[in-house]
Structure formats: C-alpha cells, structure tokens
C-alpha cells in the first residue's frame, strides 16, 4: 500500500467517505454541514479543546475518567454521576470492544441483550450502533465536554458518527491504536485509515469547528521508556497536523519515578512543539495528558488509592493539562460508577493541594536532557528512513526496530528492545535492540542498570524485567529480589 504524509485531496476524501458511511445504517444520518452547525450552536462549556487551552493558560490540571456502558439511558446516568459526584472536569465515552473491531452486528446483539437482562454485557458505549441522535442525547445530558476513547484500528465510521453526534475530542492514532492493540494489521493500513480521521477533523476545523485530537500516550502501558511514547506521539501529531488538525493533546503513561515522570511530561510538550515548528506547522496548539498507572494494580483498595495518589502528584507537579484517572477497582475488573467517582475525587484532592507547588532540581533537568536526546534520535531516524516522509518512515522504523514498543502484540513490532528499572525506579533500557542511540546514551543506560544489579547482588538480566512488571501489584516500584 502506497502512503505518504500528504494532505488528502477533497475528491479522494469524499469518494472514500461514501464507502465509510455505507458500512452501517447509522452512517446515513451523518450530514457534515448540519453537524458543523450543531457544533457551532453548542455552549462554550462543552468544547473540549477550549477547556484544555484555558487550563493550560491558567496552569491548572483537569481530571478525566474512563467510562462507558452499552445502553444510552445507563450511559447518561453514569456520565451525570461522574460529573456531579466525581467532580470530573472532562467526560469520556469509552467505546466497546465489538465496535473497536468494526463488528457492529455483534454490538447490536450486545445492546439488545444488555437491555433484556438489565445489566451491561459490553465493556463500553457502542456509538456507531446508537447513531448521531443518541450520541447527541448523551452530549446534551451533561454540561461538560466529552471525548471518544476507544482503541479502534479502523475508526473512520466511529469518527464520522461521534463528530456529527457532538463529541469535541477524539483519541487514538495510526501507531498508538495499532502496535499495542493489533496482531496482524499492517502499519500502512492504520496510518492511512487515521489520515482519514485527521482529514475529517481538519475539514471541521476549516468550517469553523475545532475538535481536539489526542494520540494514545501509554502504548502498551508497561515499562515504556519516555522516548518511545514521545516519538510515537510526536509522529502522530505531525501526521495529524498535515491533515489540518489544529488542537492536539499528546500523552504519557505514568512510569512511577517522580523525577522521570515530571521530566517526561515537561519535555513532551516542548518536543512536540519543536517538531511541529520545524516542519512548518506553526498554528497547532499543544496540550498534555498524564495517564495514571497503566500496569497491574494492587487488589487492596487502600493500596490502589496509594497508586492513584502518586499519579495525581505527578500530574500536579508536572503541570500536565489533564490527567486520566484510574479507580480502586482496577485489579478486579470494570469499576462501579461509585469507585470511578472515588478515583476522581482522590485525584482532584491531591492536584488541588499541589497546584501551587513547583518541583525543580538538577536531576529533573538531567532526565529532561536524556529524554530529549533519545527522542530526537528516534524521530530523526524515522524521517531519514522515509527520505523525509514521516508516514513512510515510521512504517519502516517499526519494521526495523527503530521505534520498538515493549510487549506489543503486533507482529510488525520488532520486540527487540527490553526495558527495566534502574536502582531509583526510573525506566532504563536493558537491551537497546535497534534503537538508534549513540554510544553515550547506550553507556548511560548500561551504567544505570549495572548500578542496580550491584545493589541487588545479581546480574542484570531478563529476571529484572519480570520482577518490575509485577512490582507495583505487590506494593513496590522496583522489583527487588528480596521482596
């Protein structure tokens, strides 16, 4: 499949759009001009991108949950509860797994069975099946901005329906919704499908409606070095900007070391701005999101609140524009709405207490510089592999292991790079694989891991990785053998 980082022409887009809207009957209700008018008539309080930019200007961190159930009326109750009792600043509609795989017939059956049995039989909100009118019913039931959160490799129809339905923010991208989620879908396919999503977003922008786009930051969520998630976010931001997107939120998943996590959020916005300006996208507004811990959680709710509080502290000290909040039920399954609200209130309390405090130290600055160097090595190599075209370059980079996501299920991913923690709990790289690092960076990682190995009186090995994966679930950050 031929791809390039070039804005899709209107002729090409609208030809493809006919096929996209025909994928499920609710597509016939999408009218672009009518949808734009609907967005323009919305109150300012429901506009996601504006609320993010206001928070960035004021130095505030907004809190947002994950949540979604299949039946519209129950989804509305959930959103209203999180707005009122969770004190959320932003709201999601997390999409179900059938929709994520474009299995709309099965989603239809899931809705019917959920209604018949009076309980949710799906893990999210099937927006494509519900269609434009019911999405608007959800949007109008609350006063807060709403975002679509999902995990869909081919999200074109979902985007059309939810944009027309009034959602003002949309998560995902051709890298971040492929490598962590898929097994056999080629990178070229997801890059192309997400160019459609971003071009649709660009069309709304050109018609006077700004919709926020958010690459999925945590990737696999387990021991992902900042440079890997940063590189993916920057590349997805560049791909989106080429299609006309003007409001982008780049994300990062909490790793657990305070200094490294604060440095990561602070460099993420800086580096994204750097590359956008370098390649001529000077009118894109960038904000940041921290995802609270995405790995295994303690089953004990009190201990889970400790993990949530740590993520809240990092969000506050790093001045992330928003934080995606976890719940004390993470270890056992889908949370109740009460548990979801508890996680939000816990996070908001910590953020409010640290809102006026600033973390600054030489060690944070060192981490920032390491992250800058590593990220530039990866992104610049992607451009080189694509002969200047980042869409081509990132596909070749994934195949070559230049961009290598740890523990990703996708067969396209090289899986050569291996991370683990250093003696202070920061994420380092045990096996560099084919990451395009210079000798100084490789030596830095080797020395940090050897320092830990010496302290633990063992050799640096894969066992460290295993120990680190399970550590937080056992109440620690670093997987020490004595614990």
CA–CA distance, 233 with 254 (Å, rounded to integer)? 15
CA–CA distance, 64 with 288 (Å, rounded to integer)? 13
Q: Which 3 state secondary structure label does DSSP give 4?
A: coil
* Of 46, 156, 160, 171, catalytic: 171
> What is the side-by-side strand order in the sheet with 322-324?
62-64, 322-324, 285-291, 247-253, 212-214, 169-171, 146-149, 91-94
**Nearest CA among 193, 190, 189, 239 for reference residue 213:** 239
Contact assessment for residue 349 and residue 117, using Cβ atoms and an 8 Å cutoff? no
CA–CA distance, 184 with 410 (Å, rounded to integer)? 6
**283 Cβ contact partners less than 8 Å away, ≥ 6 residues apart:** 246
Q: Which 3 state secondary structure label does DSSP give 369?
A: helix
Active site residue 199: no
* C-alpha distances in Å from residue 318, one per residue of 3, 59, 116, 254, 413: 37, 10, 46, 11, 30
* Of 46, 100, 199, 213, catalytic: 100
Within 41-154, where are the H helices?
Answer: 48-58, 72-84, 97-100, 104-117, 127-139
Active site residue 451: no
Q: How would DSSP label each residue in 64-86?
A: E-----SSHHHHHHHHHHHHHTS
Measured from the Cβ of residue 12, the count of other Cβ atoms closer than 10 Å reads: 12
**61 Cβ contact partners less than 8 Å away, ≥ 6 residues apart:** 55, 315, 316, 319, 320, 321, 322, 323, 351, 355
**151 Cβ contact partners less than 8 Å away, ≥ 6 residues apart:** 95, 97, 100, 172, 177, 181, 216
Question: Annotated active-site positions, please?
Answer: 100, 171
């Amino acid at each position: 499949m031929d791809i390039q980082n070039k804005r899709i022409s209107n002729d090409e887009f609208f030809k493809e759009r006919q096929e996209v809207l025909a994928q499920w009957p609710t597509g016939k209700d999408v009218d672009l001009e009518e949808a734009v008018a609907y967005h323009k008539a919305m109150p300012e309080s429901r506009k996601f991108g504006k609320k993010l930019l206001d928070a960035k200007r004021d130095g505030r961190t907004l809190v947002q949950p994950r949540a979604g159930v299949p039946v519209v009326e129950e989804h509305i109750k959930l959103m209203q509860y999180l707005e009122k009792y969770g004190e959320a600043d932003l709201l999601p509609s997390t999409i179900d797994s059938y929709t994520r795989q474009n299995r709309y017939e099965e989603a239809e059956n899931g809705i019917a069975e959920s209604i018949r049995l009076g309980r949710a039989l799906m893990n999210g909100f099937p927006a494509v099946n519900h269609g434009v009118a019911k999405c608007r019913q959800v949007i109008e039931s609350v006063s807060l901005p709403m975002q679509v959160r999902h995990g869909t490799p081919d999200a074109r129809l979902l985007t059309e329906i939810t944009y027309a339905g009034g959602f003002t923010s949309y998560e995902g991208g051709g890298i971040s919704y492929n490598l962590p989620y898929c097994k056999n879908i080629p990178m070229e396919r997801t890059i192309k499908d997400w160019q459609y999503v971003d071009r649709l977003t660009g069309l709304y922008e050109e018609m006077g409606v700004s919709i926020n786009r958010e690459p999925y930051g945590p990737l696999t969520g387990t021991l992902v070095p900042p440079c890997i998630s940063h590189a993916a976010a920057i590349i997805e931001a560049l791909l989106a900007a080429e299609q006309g997107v003007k409001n982008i939120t780049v994300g990062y998943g909490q790793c657990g070391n305070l200094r490294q996590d604060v440095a990561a959020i602070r460099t993420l916005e800086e580096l994204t701005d750097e590359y956008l300006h370098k390649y001529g996208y000077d009118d894109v507004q960038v904000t940041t999101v921290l995802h609270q811990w995405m790995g295994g959680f303690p089953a004990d709710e009190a201990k889970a609140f400790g993990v949530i509080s740590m993520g809240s502290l990092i969000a506050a000290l790093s001045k992330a524009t928003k934080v995606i909040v976890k719940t004390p039920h993470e270890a056992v399954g889908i949370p109740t709405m009460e548990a979801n609200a508890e996680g939000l209130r816990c996070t908001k309390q910590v953020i409010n207490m640290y809102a006026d405090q600033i973390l600054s130290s030489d060690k944070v600055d060192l981490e920032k510089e390491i992250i800058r160097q590593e990220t530039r090595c990866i992104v610049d190599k992607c451009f080189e592999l694509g002969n200047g075209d980042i869409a081509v370059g990132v596909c070749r980079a994934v195949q070559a292991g230049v961009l290598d996501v740890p523990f990703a299920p996708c067969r396209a991913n090289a899986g050569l790079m291996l991370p683990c923690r250093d003696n202070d709990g920061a994420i380092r790289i045990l096996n560099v694989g084919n990451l395009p690092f210079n000798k100084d960076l490789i030596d830095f990682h080797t020395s940090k891991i050897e320092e830990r190995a010496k302290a633990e009186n063992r050799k640096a090995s894969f066992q460290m990785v295993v120990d680190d994966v399970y550590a937080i679930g056992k109440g620690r950050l670093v997987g020490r053998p004595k614990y």
